Amino acid sequence: MTSTTTAPGATTENAAGAARPVPFGWVLLALATGGFAIGTTEFVSMGLLPEISRGLGVSIPSAGHAISAYALGVVVGAPLIAFLGSRWPRRAVLIGLMAMFVVGNLATSFVDSYGAMLAARFVSGLPHGAYFGVASLVAANLAPAGRAGRAVATVMLGLSFANVVGVPASTWLGQNIGWETAYWVVAALGLLTLTLVAVFVPRIPGDREAHWRTELGALRRPQVILTLLAGAVGFGGMFAVYTYIVPTVNEVGGLPESVAPFFLLAFGLGMVVGTWLAGRLADWSVLRSLLIGGAGQGVSLLLFSLLAPYGWATLPVVFAITALGSVMVVNLQLRLMTVSSDAPTMGAAMNHASLNVANALGAWLGGLVVAAGWGFRAPGVVGAGLSVLGVALIVASGLLERRTQAANA
């Protein structure tokens, strides 16, 4: 994000209305700041589950449904907003999405009942997938030749850095001042993003040729379906563990609640390293990167379940889980942008819809086994099983692609 290269077509207007070039690094910074804000609100709820459950007077598994409500908002919002906004100017769409994001998180900070909390988290999740989809398209379109993959990975780094700085800091504030404080911080980050996008992201017209049949038709393609399912199922394993990480290290590992920020920091560092690595691996092979990420994540999740009683011993495993999972996230994004071809807005946005299906699925299945009395080690086993299914779907996608290429040859 420190590059001073001016990408082709990256211009904004100065006070006199004249076009001026914008260094591509500033464009990426504006887009990645939105990822930082979104990543903070998505993951901070997991670190504050005990505080939210006490504040609203519900059990920890019930409080976990707030995470599922956010994920449902992403799933609903991604295709709907991508469909409606594909013809609109990209910068205007990004600004509108950030405005909706701010409203949803401010509403979360003022809720006084469980039902209101679920509704506020649903609204907060609506712009998530569409933002990353549009931001990825803007980054890829403005990137210098041969660097589109790294540009998309840089946008995703905002989400990763959120787990290094935003989530631990907001978790600390929520634990010591009140859980509502975390969402005030997130709303402020949304306002900052809105300002940066308005200043640095150039005017980029929407796709005037986009048609609802084309956009929705992408969702019927076998490769798109397989890729979305691989994300929804395979990445769900991480959320089965991440959602209940705090009670796991407390009740199984015997560590105090005050260590939660350290484990959230390990998740965040894993995401940063994995996202950086993913951009490089994508230049080698997107499909092989997906296989490595999925298989490695499954092994790490099983190892977490085995080491959970040993407290601090799980810290490096937590790092590995998210590093390998982040390799999947970036390469799933690139895969969808390719296989959706003439419907790139829908394809790019739907990646985060599928990942938040994974969020909801993992949180739900993890809570299910905990509520059934199997303990907080059980979500790790569930997560490993989901990773195996995700790898199977990626293998099926690769075999289908090979067969199609052979038939065309």
Residue 393: closest CA among 318, 298, 300, 323: 298
Please give the C-alpha separations between residue 124 and each of 37, 39, 68, 74, 345, in angstroms, as whole numbers.
11, 12, 12, 8, 20
pLDDT at 13 over 80: no
H/E stretch holding 33: helix 24-47
Residue 70: closest CA among 221, 152, 183, 164: 183
218-250 burial: b if 16+ Cβ within 10 Å, else e: beeeebbebbbbbbbbbbbbbbbbbbbbbbbbb
With beta carbons less than 8 A apart as the criterion, state whether 355 and 239 touch.
Answer: no
Phi (first) and psi of residue 211, to 5 degrees: -135, 145
How much is the average pLDDT of 372-392? Answer: 91
Out of 97-106, 213-222, 247-256, 323-332, which region has the weakest mean confidence (pLDDT)?
213-222
Residue 174: closest CA among 183, 187, 186: 183
**pLDDT digits 0-9 by tens, 92-102:** 889 999 999 99
pLDDT at 367 over 80: yes
- Residue where the block lists tokens 């013809």: 87
Residues 26, 16: Cα–Cα separation, whole Å: 21
What is residue 211's predicted lDDT score, i.e. its pLDDT? 57
**pLDDT digits 0-9 by tens, 128-148:** 888 988 888 888 778 776 677
What is residue 8's predicted lDDT score, i.e. its pLDDT? 52
pLDDT at 10 over 70: no
**pLDDT digits 0-9 by tens, 18-72:** 445 667 788 888 999 999 999 899 888 877 888 888 878 777 777 778 887 887 8
Please give the C-alpha separations between residue 234 and each of 52, 224, 229, 354, 391, in angstroms, as whole numbers.
28, 15, 8, 10, 7
What is residue 56's predicted lDDT score, i.e. its pLDDT? 81
**Mean confidence (pLDDT) of the chain:** 83
pLDDT at 391 over 60: yes
Please give the C-alpha separations between residue 16 and each of 20, 198, 200, 205, in angstroms, as whole numbers.
10, 16, 16, 21
Structure tokens at 84: 């409606």
Q: Report the amino acid identity of residue 359.
A: N
More confident residue, 147 or 123: 123
Phi (first) and psi of residue 22, to 5 degrees: -120, 125
Structure tokens at 20: 């001026």
Q: What angle do CA 58, 59, 63 make, to 5 degrees?
A: 75
Could you tell me the domains of the chain?
A: 20-408 (1.20.1250.20)
With beta carbons less than 8 A apart as the criterion, state whether 357 and 237 touch.
Answer: no
Please give the C-alpha separations between residue 367 and each of 43, 240, 244, 383, in angstroms, as whole numbers.
16, 8, 8, 12
With beta carbons less than 8 A apart as the criterion, state whether 202 and 27 touch.
Answer: yes
Q: What angle do CA 196, 192, 64 make, to 5 degrees?
A: 130
With beta carbons less than 8 A apart as the criterion, state whether 235 and 358 touch.
Answer: yes
Residues 325, 274: Cα–Cα separation, whole Å: 7
**pLDDT digits 0-9 by tens, 205-248:** 766 665 556 666 667 788 888 999 999 999 888 888 888 888 88
